[in-house]
Structure 1
């Protein structure tokens, strides 16, 4: 949910030549825009239609849009730390400092927006915690990251169930600076486990995105693998959830299929260990996490494949997708103002249209989104501070010490 710095960090030298900029993959930005539109739809449009059935917006986007955001945040972290050629040594330290700085600023933005009372759960503070948790993972290989994604999906959800009732429930859905300082332990528990977007199990998305971002996303073969593998993963997670609902909860096969398709919770209390079978939106249980990782992979793979044949659509979506922090914040302020509150479809159309137009105009006339530029400035300052510190650090080793260039025996 931030504009990743695409350029690799130089290895040595105080004044290195600037490396060539990596070509931006616009399909990733288009996927971010799709996630933003989905979150707007979930926030604004009815969950049910006139007949009492789940609305199309809920069926398509509930849980999946926010999961796609988190997945793409991991992809951006991979881009900012070397992409398919992960950084090491001093550049990796600098990249980690930049990510940590981004995390703190994004958390601050989220907590500041909470004071406006937007009536929806703000994801930014949770994102900031996920970025911080991802800092030590930036140098890992794709296979390790993929394994960690599964570990967080299963182990994080089990840990979440274990601490239910132990960690006090938060009084407010959205964290502010006041709750951070007056109730630090409750705040930490909310961010990590009890909140709407619990960071520990949601690290499954971050690790999956980091692994995906280490791949060659300009390759159509990789894109096809993402789409096919994601579809298989999403279907398998749903199938396992359905079978477990039948065998563990004694739900009929037809009812379990209906619950999954409509995005409804299984008939079991959240405090029960049987809640682990859930694949319903925002349950943060293993099968829901794996299912939405799969749907996120499908969305990204399909958009990469479509980027050549449908480039006009990609080019329309990508500018807004490159500044989702700004546009998401604007969406929250619009909600807090209560404008068009009684006309959800008009509000949705206006906000989506405004986001697309603003994205195209701002990207072409200015460049980075305003909040993205501010976050990037802080991150760049932190990165450069690490590089300067490493470059100017005195070397106290003597000329005959092992490892110093030019010594005898080298």
Structure 2
């Protein structure tokens, strides 16, 4: 029996557009070296930093989840082909732009191909586990390894060890914990997204969680700064490094979008 096609959620297309524009603005600042600027683009990109990309990954997860809900088992093979294409395109892009996100997408999609049919409980557990794994890894491994933070260059990016470290742990959008955004999107795809009541509830819940997270982070940073400035950096909602406060802020802002 052929699955009944669901009406297209036009709001998702609009959200993708805004997330994409946000990513372009942020990447423009990085490419032009406009860190710490005071212009409109610099101010806007600071507000969007880490949020636009996170939203885009969540939306990708929703798209994959909806496609999986509507189609047959072939979605896994299609997802793998997309991952292979994105990996090739991303590797080429990395030759001119180190902050490429496409090769990260490729790995996210490879995991998605395996997990699209996983139970809701398993996906939720993996999402939480990925978020909590990163601080543990931060205690075990050197997050600064490979980085020149003044020039934003990565010394051994094109070695196997450096590439894997950058991909999985301390790159721009590391699989741990960024894969959690994609899994959260797949979880959202299983919710009644077409319900106006659910949409309003999601926006309000996301906005409240985002505001509480930002406020809690600000208080924690202020308190920890008096003890150890480096420790305070771990309580921010900045995307580097992607600590739990950032992940929660990214997920909630994506939900509110």
Q: What is the aligned partner in structure 2 of residue 104 from structure 1? A: 84
SS at match of 2:6: coil
Is contact 2:22-2:45 (8 Å) kept?
Answer: no
Is it true that 1:206 corresponds to 2:182 in the alignment? yes
Higher helix share: 2
State the aligned residue count.
248
Is it true that 1:134 corresponds to 2:123 in the alignment? no
Aligned equivalents of 1:22, 1:197: Cα separation in 2: 32
Aligned equivalents of 1:54, 1:24: Cα separation in 2: 33
Length-normalised TM-score, structure 1: 0.54
Is contact 1:152-1:204 (8 Å) kept?
Answer: yes
Aligned equivalents of 1:224, 1:174: Cα separation in 2: 46
Is contact 2:22-2:52 (8 Å) kept?
Answer: yes
1:198-245, Cα deviation, whole Å (9 max, x unpaired): 111101211211111111211111111210111122122223322322
Q: Select the residue among 30, 35, 55 that pairs with 2:19.
A: 35
1:280-338, Cα deviation, whole Å (9 max, x unpaired): 23431110011011111111xxxxxxxxxxxxxxxxxxxxxxxxxxxxxxxxxxxxxxx
Shift of 1:59: 3.9
Is it true that 1:240 corresponds to 2:216 in the alignment? yes
Aligned equivalents of 1:281, 1:186: Cα separation in 2: 20
- Cα 1:238–1:208 change in 2 (3 A) is same
Report the aligned-residue RMSD.
Answer: 3.0
- Cα 1:19–1:134 change in 2 (3 A) is closer
Aligned equivalents of 2:155, 2:79: Cα separation in 1: 23
Q: What is the aligned partner in structure 2 of residue 223 from structure 1? A: 199
The higher radius of gyration belongs to 1
Q: What is the aligned partner in structure 2 of residue 250 from structure 1? A: 226
Length-normalised TM-score, structure 2: 0.83
Aligned equivalents of 1:128, 1:170: Cα separation in 2: 23
1:147-167, Cα deviation, whole Å (9 max, x unpaired): 4322211223432442225x9
Q: What is the aligned partner in structure 2 of residue 392 from structure 1? A: none
Aligned equivalents of 2:4, 2:14: Cα separation in 1: 23
Is it true that 1:283 corresponds to 2:241 in the alignment? yes
Aligned equivalents of 1:39, 1:22: Cα separation in 2: 29
After TM superposition, the runs of 4+ consecutive aligned structure 1 residues lying more than 4 A away are 170-176
1:132-173, Cα deviation, whole Å (9 max, x unpaired): 2233321234454334322211223432442225x9527965
Which structure has more relative contact order (CA 8 Å, sep 6+)? It is 1
Is contact 2:79-2:110 (8 Å) kept?
Answer: yes
- Cα 1:170–1:97 change in 2 (3 A) is farther
Q: What is the aligned partner in structure 1 of residue 52 from structure 2? A: 65
Is contact 2:206-2:256 (8 Å) kept?
Answer: yes
Aligned equivalents of 1:174, 1:229: Cα separation in 2: 42
Shift of 1:99: 1.7
Aligned equivalents of 1:113, 1:290: Cα separation in 2: 29
Shift of 1:174: 11
Aligned equivalents of 1:224, 1:144: Cα separation in 2: 26
